[in-house]
Structure 1
């Protein structure tokens, strides 16, 4: 089983080839090829390589599929007995990423 741990959009992801991932928004157009270089760990057929902090010899070939808004989150603030109530909604921007291969 081949997998890698990468750092992208401020978070770390365990990724495998030919799988889809939803990450924080990347300001790139859909159907754009992306080369990810921030690889922290690589497991290839049981051989583990750990970067310090990144592996320079490993790249991830990925494709941006689409950008969309996530599910709405309701934020409600209230102070009892003071008639203070605030209701806000928030939808974060997300990106779907498809991993083609680990090189």
Structure 2
């Protein structure tokens, strides 16, 4: 069945599907030092599509949840920041990699029922 959900996590909106992994920064409910296979439940669901039915939340759906587990921590691509001082003819290069959390979606629930089992 063609079902997906749009969730609000880490200050961004992600389109998640069952069985796929996703990366999120600022993962609020879990500490960054958590171990793998930690179960998570995300209640900030903005939209759920199941077949031809679409359910919108205002701002979130009250009876919806996306359940999954954390796979591991990872890093984002390195951001390079270069500052050039034109009159001094010098430059300074800085860079950092943002901490990310990789999680996999196990199920999408709406109204207490698992969407892929119904």
TM-score w.r.t. the length of structure 2 is: 0.81
Q: CA RMSD in A?
A: 1.3
The superposition leaves residues 10-66 of structure 1 with CA deviations (integer Å, 9 ceiling, x where unpaired) of: 100011111011111432512110010000001111100100000011111111100
Return the alpha-carbon distance in structure 1 between the equivalents of residues 101 and 26 of structure 2: 5
The total of aligned residue pairs comes to 103
- Kindly indicate whether residue 92 of structure 2 is the aligned counterpart of residue 86 of structure 1: yes
Asked if 1:74 corresponds to 2:80, the answer is yes
Partner Cα separation in structure 2 for residue 66 and residue 25 of structure 1: 14
Q: Secondary structure at the match of 1:81?
A: coil
The aligned counterpart of 1:61 is 67
Q: Which structure 1 segments of 5+ residues have no match?
A: none
Tell me the SS of whatever aligns to 2:64: coil
Asked whether 1:31 is paired with 2:32, we answer no
* TM-score (structure 1 length as normaliser): 0.92
